[in-house]
Amino acid sequence: MTEPLLSIRELRVEFPTRRGILTAVDGVSFDIAPGEVLGVVGESGAGKSLTGAAIIGLLDPPGRIAGGEVLLKGQRIDNLPPEGLRRIRGKRIGMVFQDPLTSLNPLFRIGEQLIETIQLHTGMNAAQARDRAIALLVDVGIPAAERRIDAYPYQFSGGMRQRVVLALALAADPELIIADEPTTALDVSVQAQIIALMKRLCREHNVAIMLITHDMGVIAETADRVAVMYAGRIAEIGPVRDVIGRAHHPYTQGLMGSIPTLTATAERLTQIPGSMPRLTDIPTGCAFNPRCPHVFDRCRVERPELLPAERTLAACWLYAADRRATA
Amino acid sequence: MIAHLLRSLLQGILVILAVGLIAFSMFRFVGDPIASLAGQESTDADRAELTERLGLNDPFPVQFGRFLAHAASGDFGISYRQARPVADLLAERLPATLELAVLSALFAFVVGIALGVYAAINRRGVIANGVMVLSLIGVSLPTFLIGIGLIYLFAVELRWLPSFGRGDVVHIGWWTTGLLTDTGRKSLVLPVLTLGFFQLTLIMRLVRAEMLETMRTDYVRFARARGIPERRIQFRHALRNTMVPVVTIVGLQLGSVIAFAIVTETVFQWPGLGALFVNAVQFVDIPVMAAYLMFVAFVFAAVNFLTDFVYLLIDPRLRH
Ligand SMILES: Nc1ncnc2c1ncn2[C@@H]1O[C@H](COP(=O)(O)OP(=O)(O)O)[C@@H](O)[C@H]1O
Ligand code: SF4
Ligand SMILES: [Mg+2]
């Protein structure tokens, strides 16, 4: 395997609060290969956004990275000074947020925002940057880009704004884009267009995408691999076909069982009784154990590592070597 | 855009008309203009003749219309007390008040915004928090107390600055200015500080709150995600958005500087319109009072209109 583009090792994100320290992301590890789309799914509050924010150093205080490493092409970036991280943001790792309506500064022309970003990272002069901005807008499918570049965000529809946001994320040709629920705020018809666009951009610009969503349909259509998060941990990770079609972790199985169609979302997890624990009372051992139909003694005391289960890795004691032997 | 400005203009005109009505009503319901003008030895015939000549027998709307028409052409009648055209009295006093008000507004605006931005950026800093506590004093302390306090400190104890009057002024045409002489400039300091302090603290607190709010928005987050340097985010992306709500309120505040000037002018015996008004109230000099009210209404309307205009410059969403 080639060297991973991004590598997360045992990442931990904490919030100091009056009632003690809350661990919102707890020992998360995964790799993203160059040009790969990694889907990250999980219920609301599972820690997906925090993982994304931690990678590019945008955790809002008092949230902080309390452990682990983030490596970009083998180099640690989590311990860089703020200025070092800033240089990576936008230049090597782009980010797209959920709501295109609020992601753009309402008082600046979209061209100004694009040119600012391009010039910042590439050192182009104003005319070159403007040409590039127009090319980017054409690339993301904004019609009449030469004219629209001087328009203000309010003059665009939601879908068009998300295209502009994508153009901004691509402005300096990053190697990775972290897209946090990029289609959740959009109309269903527009969602498909944006997803198709992201797939094409990913291919043509050879940019990897960490695609955070709770929409399994989006994942099924876009991702190469999927990581399923639960209570700040990864429950299962593997190729998209296997995680969707042959899940091994009981939580993933419940998740997949609860979506008869590809348009259903992981937000509504009806198959498994109970709900994800709050950060203040995550059970010891396997975080899923109070809801798990297969729970046994070990699950309540010892936290499971990611264990190989056919083509995926599942954080579940059912796949421990000794148990598999007997099963 | 044009509609927006027209609406603003219309509002201004309505305000002026409403205040005009109040001002005009004073003539009819406060005091007796005939008694004031005709003097003790006048006969009934004299009075009747005067009443007729002044048009006081005409129906109310006709009188009001005439009052407005005169006011629009700068004719506010004759001062009961000083027996001189009110317009001349106003013109004499106007420079003193405008100089004081404009400098105070500028002081409040510039320092208020600078401190507000500073307090927002260094939210947890010691200086920023100190400034915030001090600003509470500014918001809660009455203007005249601040003025008296400043006089005590800088005029009585330290003897650095004069405590009353404008000092020496230079005439430029009909305008007079204290900015060109040493005593004039020194005399301006305390009144300007006094008059501007309240607005300053208000502007500062507002700017801080709005800036903090703006720094939490998605587009600021997205600007960070694009790698825009923090300073640039603060002063380019956030400050401009902060100014949208701030401009409206600041505009209203600056209009009221003129009104607040009454207190400051009284404390510092400043020969401006406010002092003229206070004097006029003491002697029930209705024409002067009416003219002053009209003047304040006009300033409010003008500042309001200007504010809407600046608003349009800042926010493209309102422009089309
Ligand atoms: N500022 C904060 N203080 C305390 N807890 C927080 C804070 N921000 C997020 N969290 C908690 O962290 C958890 C994960 O949040 P997040 O990553 O946004 O979830 P997701 O994106 O998967 O929906 C949630 O339980 C949330 O309540
Ligand atoms: S470790 Fe135990 S409780 Fe957790 S998912 Fe596996 S079987 Fe269920
Ligand atoms: Mg989220």
Query: And the tokens for A116?
Result: 């600012």
Strands B170-172 and A176-180: unpaired
pLDDT band at A1 (very low <50, low <70, confident <90, very high): low
Please give the C-alpha separations between residue B190 and each of A125, B127, B147, B150, in angstroms, as whole numbers: 50, 24, 7, 7
DSSP state of B154: I
Query: CB distance A171–B226 less than 8 Å?
Result: yes
Bridge partners of B303, per DSSP, are none
A275 Cβ closer than 6 Å to some ligand 1 atom:
no
Residues of B in contact with A99 (CB under 8 A): 218
**Quick check: B235 contacting A, CB < 8 Å?**
no
Hey, are the CB atoms on A107 and B225 less than 8 Å from each other?
no
Residues 6+ apart with CB under 8 A from B281: B289
If you take atom 5 of ligand 2, which residue's CA is the nearest one?
A316
B83 touches chain A (CB under 8 A): no
The answer to whether B205 faces chain A, any CB pair under 8 Å, is: no
Query: Would you call B316 and A90 a contact, using CB atoms and an 8 Å cutoff?
Result: no
**Buried/exposed code over B85-94 (b: 16+ C-beta within 10 A; e: otherwise):** bbbebbebbb
How many angstroms separate the CA atoms of B288 and B54, rounded? 17
Residue by residue, pLDDT tens for chain B (320 residues) are 778 888 888 988 998 899 988 888 887 777 676 776 666 777 788 878 877 777 777 788 888 888 888 888 888 888 888 888 999 999 999 999 999 999 999 999 999 999 999 999 998 888 888 888 888 877 788 888 888 888 888 888 888 888 888 888 888 888 888 888 888 899 999 999 999 998 899 899 999 999 999 999 999 999 999 999 999 999 999 999 998 888 887 787 777 888 778 888 998 999 999 999 999 988 888 889 999 999 989 988 888 888 888 888 888 887 76
The arithmetic mean of pLDDT across residues A228-243, rounded, is: 95
- What residues does each domain of chain B span? 86-282
pLDDT for A263 = 45
Nearest to A35 by CA among A280, A247, A148, A202: A202
Residues A88-121 pLDDT 10s: 999 999 999 988 889 999 999 999 999 999 999 9
What does the pLDDT look like over A6-56, one tens digit per residue?
999 999 999 998 888 999 999 999 999 999 999 999 989 999 999 999 999
- What does pLDDT average to over chain A? 90
Topology of the domain comprising B86-282: MetI-like fold (1.10.3720)
Query: Class for domain A6-92+172-261+269-326, per CATH?
Result: alpha beta
- Most informative mutation of A233, A284, A295 for ligand 2 (most atoms within 8 A of CB): A295
> Residue B31: its pLDDT value, please?
67
- Helix count and strand count (H, E) for chain A: 13, 12
**Which of A233, A292, A323 has the most ligand 2 atoms within 8 A of CB, as the residue to mutate?**
A292
Cβ neighbours of A61 in B, within 8 Å: none
Nearest CA in chain A to B226: A90
Proportion of chain A above pLDDT 90, given as a percent:
71
- Contacting residues of B for A120, CB less than 8 Å apart: 226-229
Is B314 an 8 Å CB contact of chain A?
yes
How many Å lie between the centroid of ligand 1 and the Cα of residue A232?
A: 9
In chain B, residues with a C-beta closer than 8 Å to the C-beta of A58 are 221, 224-225
Q: What is the pLDDT of residues A148-187, one digit of tens each?
A: 999 999 999 989 999 999 999 999 999 999 999 998 888 8
* Beta carbons of B319 and B312 less than 8 angstroms apart: yes
Average pLDDT score over residue span A251-267? 64
Task: Count the neighbouring beta carbons within 10 Å of the beta carbon of residue A286.
Answer: 28
**A287-320: per-residue pLDDT in tens?**
999 999 999 999 999 999 999 998 999 999 999 8
Given a cut of 70, whether residue A265 has pLDDT beyond it is no
Dihedral of the alpha carbons of B272, B277, B279, B280, in degrees to the nearest 10: 140
